[in-house]
Structure 1
Amino acid sequence: MSDDEKNPAREVITDYAQAHFRYFRTADGTVYAQKNGHPVARPMRSQGTTGSHRQELMVGLFRDGRGVFNGTAMKEALDLIEALALTEGVQPVHIRVAPGFDGATWLDLGRSDGQSVRIHPTGWDVRVPDPQEVCWRRTQLTGELPLPVKDTDGKGIDLLMRLCNFANAETECLAIAWLIGCLGPAVPVPAPFLTGPQGAGKSTGGRMLVRIIEGMTGDLRRAPKDEENLITAVAAGWVTALDNLSHMTPELSDAMCCIVTGAENVKRALFTDGDVFRVGYRRPLLLTGIDVGVIRPDLAERLLPLRLERPRVRRTEAELWSDFAEVLPVILGSLLDLTVQVRAAGADIPTDLRMADFAHLCAQLDAATGLGALAAYRASLDDLNDDVIEGDLLAQTVLKHAAGIDQGTEQRMTSAEWLHCLTGLYTGEDFRPLPKGWPTTGKVLSDRLKRLQPTLAARGILIDWGRTNTSRYIEIARAGAAPPPHEQEAAF
């Protein structure tokens, strides 16, 4: 084909594409194509199994009688369209949950017609969002949700609790608070850790919670071997659920902390020497397992333990999931009703908890329903502090030493002096051997104490760092007597 024959083909494709699609770029420079009037956008360069824009364009040209074009003409047209799109405005794309106008948020139902749920403090409804307000990005992990049922009068929440094996009412209200948090794109939520004896239905319960948000195709997966694969899995969906954890490396623990509260990675772009692209992520995370061993203090502040118990009556998988699929529209409708009530409820923000946004959500849930979610959340964090201390011999030794300090007084020593003091206290008169991982230098001790500082503070042991004209010091003190629990609650 001559060059004169190629030019009209490029022009036909370009004119058709600009007439039927809207092209824009995201903050990281990725160009997306969005069919006019439809909220779903596809990356220009995507070749994924969910379909590429190139395929979408070829089908449109063929069905509208414009012809079938060869690869060269299509490539040249798309290169031009992509270059033009880089001069357009920036708009974000979202997976599953997105912020909207006037304080509303959106939930993508994953439907081909683009229908989504708009959630507002005044109510919720199902509609196709304006493409200028919300652009959905879908991947192979984006499952379809059923149309939620209106005016359920809370029936769906009761149905969900009957299907799950939560140990008590406190665990149930924390699970509800987490589900509501998953519908908020700006609220970091702690990662539920479903635990309990063997046969308690931890994996089944985890799947149910995930499928309320991700649809019936949502599932649990094994923990990736490295952080890069974990980030890839997280970026492709909204809720990431890791099943049957039995051990947690420091690297995996740190990665989970970043996923819960948000972080960003910078990577080199493929086939380039100096170009980079940014990968930002903050996603709801869910974990299941009987025991993961020692929990690091920073991760403990981001976990939400949900204990399950063994069911008295066993059911077949087919029967259980058939019943769940049948009631899922009612469960989703009840969750949306409750979300509207919670967002409209006023409550003070607890300022003493790390996950302040989730603590505020629990307080709003209490104001709307009286469930006692905030007290249950505080109790769960207290239990996690106990788990951290039980798994850390240094924390136990500091507590043992602090027991001999008068309340309201402090002791100051250099890090090397503290290391000598605590080591001697641990080894005792029989000089028992030091455990693996015991600090070997004052600097290592200081770093370990910084990690343990919030956990020990919850037990009334205050640690601070300072310096004199000649040296640096670490100060350990016992706080004064804490007020009674009812007075602490009244402060909030």
Structure 2
Amino acid sequence: MSEDEKTPGREVITDYAQAHFRYFRTVDGTVYAQRNGHPVARPIRSQGTTGSHRQELMVGLFRDGVGVFNGTALKEALDLIEALALSQDVQATHIRVAPGSDGATWLDLGRDDGQSVRIHPTGWTIAVPDPAEVCWRRTQLTGELPLPAKDTAGQGIDALLRLTNFATPDTECLALAWLVGCLEPGVPVPAPFLTGPQGAGKSTAGRMLVRIIEGMSGDLRRAPKDEESLITAVAAGWITALDNLSHLAPDLSDLMCCIVTGAESIKRALFSDGDVYRSRYRRPLLLTGIDVGVIRPDLAERLLPLRLERPTVRRTEAELWADFTAALPVILGSLLDLTVKVRAATAPTPTDLRMADFAHLCAQFDTATGLASLPAYRASLDDLNDDVIEGDLLAQTVLHHAAGLEPGAEQRMTSSEWLDCLSRLHSGEDCRPLPKGWPTTGKVLSDRLKRLQPTFAARGVVIDWGRTSAARYIAMTRPVPEPLHQQGSLH
């Protein structure tokens, strides 16, 4: 056969690829390849040294006796495949947890054979998901989970609680409710903050909670120094765990709020002048530390304090992790059993809490188990509000002033008048100097009050803004307490 009669390499590769792989695009335009019948998808432009689509295509061509092709032919073929895939239907890819059909969700076990767990209110099963229903995206942070054990009778939950040092039963049920929430991709969950004295096993307990869902390769990380590094870590896994926090800078605090409830990051694509890269993220977040200092009120609404105590009997790391590794299949199986029971339970949704989805999950959890995670969650938020107030002199001054108002009375002033009033109240008769960080203008005061508004509301003080024909004003009110017989059962 003459050279002119040979089929070009790019055509041979393209024909082979389209016969053995399914190509599709995501909403941001990234093209993925999915081997026929297998749920794991890989971006075709991945240049990673492990598990890239380019590599699996080269290996398939070689093993099936099609041939070995040079880089130019592979590049031309992938360019054509990418262009053709851009006209295909859009499908999402997921890391670790994904929504399925008929109200089910899926948990990726990270196995080469694609076996995953389908979780439904009627039960859970192990199966390979239909690629048209679930497309898994994996990274180097995607660890392998063991096959969960069946019919555990709750033994895994007991084993987990024995291995950790949670201080109270309320803390234990909140930790379990959070784990159940991590298996539901549509539910934003607050970030557990594992705290306690030195030697309480905060890092160990944090690793165990993470590894139940992320596998034994899951670990804690130091807080990154910049926003881009944290977003990169968050996008590459499901649970992001930050260890030994001692201070939360305002930018990091705001970013954590975005991670918990969801946000989008946009940056310029590499080697391009006008194209951009979109990154959407909403992930479970876990933190450990003894104390992080002053907590901003918006983050306080998204935290879940879990206190640990020092164990009375010490064990070696080797013994502890050997027991955890052996118990992990049973722990995972018990968690899946608990998740099924919680999803099958019905309960009213609390309407007064910021994280309403998690509050509803806690209500379902209590219905399914008979425990009291929702009251414990409310109590934890009250404690966090106390922390916010104790760390903010402006909040303390506002509440001190509000204590002198009659219930039902409203006081209106401009922001500048409020600044003068609160400054004089804080300085007192002895004219104490105003502390560092005290608002210097009415606009700064107004912004601070907006941030503290939920904290004040939790303490029975309503701050609102309005306008008259003359000027804008800030109103402070102490609502009249409702009679006990009129208060809802969720309060």
> TM-score, with normalisation over the residues of structure 2?
0.98
CA distance, structure 1, for counterparts of residue 3 and residue 56 of structure 2: 26
Give the alignment of 1:43-54 within 5 angstroms: 43-54=43-54
Give the alignment of 1:382-401 within 5 angstroms: 382-401=382-401
The Cα shift of 1:264 comes to 0.5
The Cα shift of 1:408 comes to 1.2
Whether 1:179 and 2:179 are equivalent positions in the alignment is yes
Q: For residue 124 of structure 1, give the secondary structure of its aligned residue in structure 2.
A: strand
Identity of aligned residues (%): 81
Runs of 4+ in 1 over 2 A off after TM superposition: 2-8, 481-484, 486-489
CA distance, structure 2, for counterparts of residue 127 and residue 3 of structure 1: 48
Where does residue 347 of structure 1 map in the other structure?
347
Where does residue 456 of structure 1 map in the other structure?
456
Change (3 A) 1:216 1:191: same
The Cα shift of 1:43 comes to 0.4
CA distance, structure 2, for counterparts of residue 281 and residue 463 of structure 1: 32
Give the alignment of 1:85-484 within 5 angstroms: 85-481=85-481, 483-484=483-484
Query: Are the equivalent residues in 2 in contact too, given 1:243–1:288 (CA < 8 A)?
Result: yes
The Cα shift of 1:490 comes to 1.6
Q: For 1:292, give the aligned amino acid.
A: V
Where does residue 33 of structure 1 map in the other structure?
33
Query: Are the equivalent residues in 1 in contact too, given 2:200–2:310 (CA < 8 A)?
Result: yes
CA distance, structure 2, for counterparts of residue 150 and residue 7 of structure 1: 54
The Cα shift of 1:7 comes to 4.7
The Cα shift of 1:479 comes to 2.0
How big is each residue's C-alpha offset from its partner over 1:149-189, in whole Å with a ceiling of 9 and x where there is no partner? 11111111111011010000000000000000000010000
Structure 2: segments with no counterpart, 5+ residues: none
Query: Are the equivalent residues in 1 in contact too, given 2:350–2:490 (CA < 8 A)?
Result: no
Where does residue 490 of structure 1 map in the other structure?
489
CA distance, structure 2, for counterparts of residue 3 and residue 437 of structure 1: 78
How big is each residue's C-alpha offset from its partner over 1:126-153, in whole Å with a ceiling of 9 and x where there is no partner? 0000000000000000000000011111
Query: Are the equivalent residues in 2 in contact too, given 1:50–1:139 (CA < 8 A)?
Result: no
How big is each residue's C-alpha offset from its partner over 1:350-408, in whole Å with a ceiling of 9 and x where there is no partner? 00000000000000001101110100000000000000000000000001111111111
CA distance, structure 2, for counterparts of residue 274 and residue 490 of structure 1: 55
Q: For 1:173, give the aligned amino acid.
A: C
How big is each residue's C-alpha offset from its partner over 1:253-272, in whole Å with a ceiling of 9 and x where there is no partner? 00000000000011111111
Query: Are the equivalent residues in 2 in contact too, given 1:6–1:73 (CA < 8 A)?
Result: no
Where does residue 17 of structure 2 map in the other structure?
17
The Cα shift of 1:9 comes to 1.3
Q: For 2:55, give the aligned amino acid.
A: Q
The Cα shift of 1:49 comes to 3.9
Q: For residue 107 of structure 2, give the secondary structure of its aligned residue in structure 1.
A: strand
The Cα shift of 1:50 comes to 3.2
- In the alignment of these two chains, the number of paired residues is 490
Change (3 A) 1:483 1:390: farther
Q: For residue 436 of structure 1, give the secondary structure of its aligned residue in structure 2.
A: coil
Structure 1: segments with no counterpart, 5+ residues: none
How big is each residue's C-alpha offset from its partner over 1:54-97, in whole Å with a ceiling of 9 and x where there is no partner? 11000011111111111111111111111111111110000000
CA distance, structure 2, for counterparts of residue 106 and residue 491 of structure 1: 31
Q: For residue 102 of structure 2, give the secondary structure of its aligned residue in structure 1.
A: helix
Over aligned residues, Cα RMSD in angstroms?
1.3
Change (3 A) 1:177 1:60: same
The Cα shift of 1:309 comes to 0.3
The Cα shift of 1:410 comes to 1.3
Q: For 1:449, give the aligned amino acid.
A: L
Q: For residue 205 of structure 1, give the secondary structure of its aligned residue in structure 2.
A: helix
Query: Are the equivalent residues in 1 in contact too, given 2:114–2:128 (CA < 8 A)?
Result: yes
Q: For 2:433, give the aligned amino acid.
A: P
Change (3 A) 1:5 1:178: farther
